[in-house]
Structure 1
């Protein structure tokens, strides 16, 4: 059973942004730095390579007891024996993912607008989700084709609506991380702040300090 405590630093991988280290080394160093969750996001690769990457990262993270989530792909999650999936608004419905993966797996859902949240709770007042991802909090080059940024005010609005853990993603870095946590985020999801760092371990430690 995966550790389902959603709190702390959440690494979302992006191989093109791994400027100083391989993806595997970034993940290993982030694990040493105290990362709490890792999501493997692969938009361009084929299914076979995606699966091999997932299996490799699972091997790295298992000794640290850090959950590995797969972006979008339920089949890769199952084949790699990953700990769960992250789903967007146009992906497989979360209810079907829960039915297939069971209650022990972590399932998170991106919310791009307040209307996404309203639609969610109209369908199920108490959705069996492990976290809601506010996406994006700030405008960022790593998330394209998204709706207008939520901002800290929007994040605070969602915090007042739900007790489900909130993962904040989009434009988060050392300089604004504390403000995002103070606004109500349980977890900080970052891409370039760790993937592009010269020292991913130190970058993770600095971001994690906002939760102590």
Structure 2
């Protein structure tokens, strides 16, 4: 639980990692919230965009689901080509959601100069449960699952530790520390500033997938749909 300003600042960095991931890959964010120490001590409950109370929630980044339930491929009534394209798009969304699962506690670890595993155990258990649910939904062997999770962690680390990504996370975390609440537009403005005014259009990554850690680390942003 957030009981000190120091712990709250870690939560701000954690949520900033999620916010950056959504923005970087072209997914709109509604808001980010990090409760104050007094709010947590008073037992304040955060209600999400689905009007559900989130118990024991210190912070949250909200927007539409990047890879919504049910996870995995969805059968379409169209041709085989249309089915393959649907699977391709859902696989991209799965990949981005997996990056998002890692980004929060990796951002926290980067700020703390601590091990990723320690931060995952301290504040990333739910994120990793979602990551496991995502890979379980696809027809992958155990080794394929492990490789996908390793790649997702590498992509998230490349984003969080990149020059522009680090600047964006610091800016979002500082704003959350000061205000406690940010709108999606405020988050986008802070991230754009960190990336020199550039911003990814929704779906623009589709023509450039799979994203490599090298691309992400270099701050590559596709501007237009392919």
Q: Normalized against structure 1, the TM-score is what?
A: 0.28
Which of these two proteins has the greater Rg computed from alpha carbons?
A: 2
Q: Normalized against structure 2, the TM-score is what?
A: 0.27
More strand by share: 1
More helix by share: 2
